[in-house]
């Protein structure tokens, strides 16, 4: 087979990836590296100075510190769980030539003014006591390196299994299916059963298109359980840690032995026990490894004690201590490697992010099948990372929900945003479309169904008429702020938009809602407030936290961005659109897939707050306004301003 044309397309993709990396790094450099500490603190890109509140060792014997900022307390910032950071001291050490002592790490969590950092080190830094401590964001290029490597390997591979998969995804070959076997499962509908049958019958590629609420995860879990009966270990992956964690949780609930691979700083707390580190920590042999490591640490500390002494005896003692430390470390590593191999080989499922499929822990493992969930959120080069090591690929996702993030306008315009799932849906004839949704009232479903899915979705009879237990309830409510003077504002540091007026209207609607809501129903009711703009979420969160009128209801309310809320659902969803200006500019609200996500999170009621004078200039939003007026309740914000 001649791969010239396909390889030319892949080379263009590789060039676009380079553009994206350059743009990403340039933004990072401009925003962070060229600023003074004072400016970085002011922009929320750095915490300085800090106090260490606790230090210790996490699962996996990695050092951690819990720090608290002593300046800029409660100020907005952009450091969050999973961010790679540099933890450092600016104090000078008379025994060191370094101007700044530093150690890289990953943030495990941030709680207001406190932060836990898991360091990429097995030792607590010696310079901790010197003071003048700070934390800076780091540019994380590992994903770019792995994507580039995957594409380079794909381009040069013109024979073997990987070349066949390349040909299938680029339309030069058709995927092959064995005869479908009969499948009886009372928990799945007809479309889901067909999808599972396709996954099992596929010899190379199976595609699952799962719109919101159609049970994509349930379908995958059932398919993976059956794959595990035929294969020693199935590789399950997704572009984000959140998506991997969701599948890990569901697969474990289905009684599969799942080992979660990845940085424990980025894994949900309740799943830590399923990580490799968690499994190691409870293994009977772990105590012996720990004892050896303690002895190695003692020897290393002894060597460091002699570091600043220069006599012949001290030099010899230092060499002996280092030698002993290395020998003990080698022994501990040998024992640990044996345990790791035992744990991994006994797993039904290995679960990790796309980039973590390159982990050295998995180098000696062979997989027949990889299941890639949320494939519509992954850049194509990232999707090829796990595909390069398997025989069969299952891609699942929805190209009409959130796309992958592309920062380079040029790369986006030239096609970097187009995912492998989108290409596969065009090239592969046998695509399993899940057509019954179990999340939302059919009126809430209706707009997205017609706009994105050609009316092919059906609401299950169990949810079709779901409503909130309150009088005069309509599943969709649009509250129009046009003419109220609620102009959008910008956070000067983050440049994210917010709208105080929309917060006011949202609060008034929520208070009215709570006043008519049956008290005995609160325990079973969930509410979320979402917005495309982080600044709006932060503003509402801060205002609600200090609002005594809402104090009794806060535990039932979640506030987050649309992007962070994908995959979740609540009984009642508020969407604050924010944008309100004379020019009719709506910014990245133009990405209608983001709004598809937002509008399909609500189970029983969706309340959208926005300015029709700004939004109505756009065909998509004008269509939604008309839908809300026809099928729901259209209100003016003036009703809440009396």
- Among 6, 5, 103, 1, smallest CA distance to 55 is for 103
How many C-beta atoms lie closer than 10 Å to residue 548's C-beta? 6
**Residue range 48-92, pLDDT digits in tens:** 989 899 888 776 567 889 999 988 777 778 787 778 888 999 886
Cα(124)–Cα(521) distance, integer angstroms: 50
Cα(267)–Cα(199) distance, integer angstroms: 28
Q: What is the average pLDDT across 150-167?
A: 95
CB 95 within 8 A of CB 140: no
Residues 6+ apart with CB under 8 A from 493: 42, 43, 44, 76
Checking if the pLDDT of 40 tops 90, the result is no
Straight-line distance from the first to the last Cα atom of the chain, in angstroms, rounded to the nearest whole number: 73
What pLDDT, on a 0 to 100 scale, did the predictor assign at position 173?
93
The greatest distance separating any two alpha carbons of the chain, rounded to the nearest whole angstrom, comes to 90
DSSP label at 193? H
CB 314 within 8 A of CB 306: yes
**Residue range 109-139, pLDDT digits in tens:** 888 888 899 898 878 888 888 888 999 888 8
Work out whether the CA dihedral 621, 625, 627, 633 comes out positive or negative: positive
**Residue range 360-396, pLDDT digits in tens:** 889 889 999 999 999 999 999 999 999 999 999 999 9
| Structure-block tokens of residue 392 | 């069969």
CB 556 within 8 A of CB 570: no
Cα(386)–Cα(185) distance, integer angstroms: 30
What pLDDT, on a 0 to 100 scale, did the predictor assign at position 95?
46
**Residue range 262-318, pLDDT digits in tens:** 877 678 888 888 988 888 877 777 666 666 666 666 666 666 665 555 555 555 665
Kindly report the three-state secondary structure assignment for every residue of 160-196.
Answer: CHHHHHHHHHCCCCCCCECCCCCCCCCCCCHHHHHHH
Element (H, E) at 291: helix 286-305
More confident residue, 451 or 306: 451
> Poorest-confidence range of 3-17, 168-182, 312-326, 329-343?
312-326
**Residue range 589-623, pLDDT digits in tens:** 999 999 999 999 999 999 999 999 999 999 999 99
């Amino acid at each position: 087979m001649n791969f010239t044309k396909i390889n030319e397309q892949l080379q263009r993709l590789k060039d676009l990836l380079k553009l994206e990396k350059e743009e990403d790094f340039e933004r990072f450099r401009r925003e962070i590296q060229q600023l003074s500490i004072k400016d970085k603190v002011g922009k929320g890109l750095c915490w300085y100075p800090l106090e260490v509140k606790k230090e210790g060792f996490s699962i996996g014997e990695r050092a951690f510190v819990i720090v608290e900022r002593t300046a800029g307390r409660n100020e907005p910032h952009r450091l969050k769980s999973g961010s790679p950071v540099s933890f450092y001291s600016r104090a000078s050490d008379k025994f060191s030539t370094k101007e700044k002592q530093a150690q890289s790490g990953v943030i495990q969590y941030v709680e207001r003014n406190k932060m836990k950092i898991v360091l990429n080190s097995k030792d607590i830094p010696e310079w901790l006591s010197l003071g003048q401590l700070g934390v800076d964001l780091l540019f994380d290029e590992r994903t770019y390196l792995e994507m580039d490597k995957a594409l380079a390997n794909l381009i040069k591979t013109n024979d073997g299994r990987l070349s066949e998969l390349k040909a299938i995804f680029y339309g030069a070959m058709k995927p092959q299916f064995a005869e479908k076997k009969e499948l009886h499962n009372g928990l799945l509908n007809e479309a889901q059963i067909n999808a599972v049958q396709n996954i099992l019958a596929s010899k190379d590629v199976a595609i699952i298109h799962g719109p919101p609420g159609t049970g994509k995860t349930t379908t995958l879990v059932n398919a993976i359980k059956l794959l595990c009966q035929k294969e020693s270990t199935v590789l399950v992956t997704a572009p984000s840690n959140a998506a991997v964690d969701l599948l890990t949780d569901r697969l474990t609930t289905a009684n599969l032995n799942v080992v979660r691979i990845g940085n424990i700083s980025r894994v949900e707390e309740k799943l830590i026990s399923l990580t490799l580190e968690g499994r190691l920590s409870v293994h009977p042999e772990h105590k012996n490894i720990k004892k050896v490591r303690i002895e190695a640490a003692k020897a290393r500390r002894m060597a460091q004690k002699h570091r600043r002494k220069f006599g012949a005896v001290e030099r010899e003692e230092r060499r002996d201590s280092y030698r002993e430390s290395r020998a003990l470390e080698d022994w501990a590593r040998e024992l640990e490697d044996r345990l790791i191999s035992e744990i991994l080989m006994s797993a039904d499922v290995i679960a990790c992010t796309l980039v973590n499929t390159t982990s050295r822990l998995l180098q000696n493992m062979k997989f027949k099948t990889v299941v890639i969930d949320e494939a519509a959120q992954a850049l194509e080069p990232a999707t090829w990372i796990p595909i390069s090591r398997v025989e069969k690929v299952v891609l699942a996702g929805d190209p009409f929900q959130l796309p992958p993030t592309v920062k380079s306008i040029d790369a986006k315009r030239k096609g970097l945003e187009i995912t492998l799932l989108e290409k596969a849906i065009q090239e592969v004839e046998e695509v399993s479309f899940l057509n019954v949704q179990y999340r939302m009232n059919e009126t809430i479903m209706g707009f997205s169904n017609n706009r994105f899915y050609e009316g092919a979705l059906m609401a299950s009879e169990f949810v079709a008429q779901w409503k909130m237990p309150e009088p005069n309830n309509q599943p969709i409510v649009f509250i129009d702020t046009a003419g109220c003077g609620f102009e959008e504002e910008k956070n000067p540091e983050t440049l994210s938009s917010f709208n105080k007026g929309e917060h006011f209207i949202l609060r008034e609607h929520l208070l009215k809602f709570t006043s008519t809501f049956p008290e005995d129903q609160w325990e079973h009711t969930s509410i979320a407030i979402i917005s495309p703009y982080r600044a709006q979420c932060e503003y509402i969160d801060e205002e609600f936290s200090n609002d005594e009128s809402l104090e009794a209801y806060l535990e039932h309310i979640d506030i987050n961005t649309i992007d962070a809320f994908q995959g979740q659902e609540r009984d009642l969803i508020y969407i604050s659109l924010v944008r309100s200006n004379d020019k009719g500019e709506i910014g990245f609200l133009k990405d209608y897939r983001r709004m598809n996500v937002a509008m399909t999170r609500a189970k029983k009621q969706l309340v959208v707050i926005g300015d029709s004078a700004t939004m109505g200039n756009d065909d998509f939003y004008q269509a939604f306004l008309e839908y809300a007026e026809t099928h729901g309740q259209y209100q003016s914000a003036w009703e809440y301003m009396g």
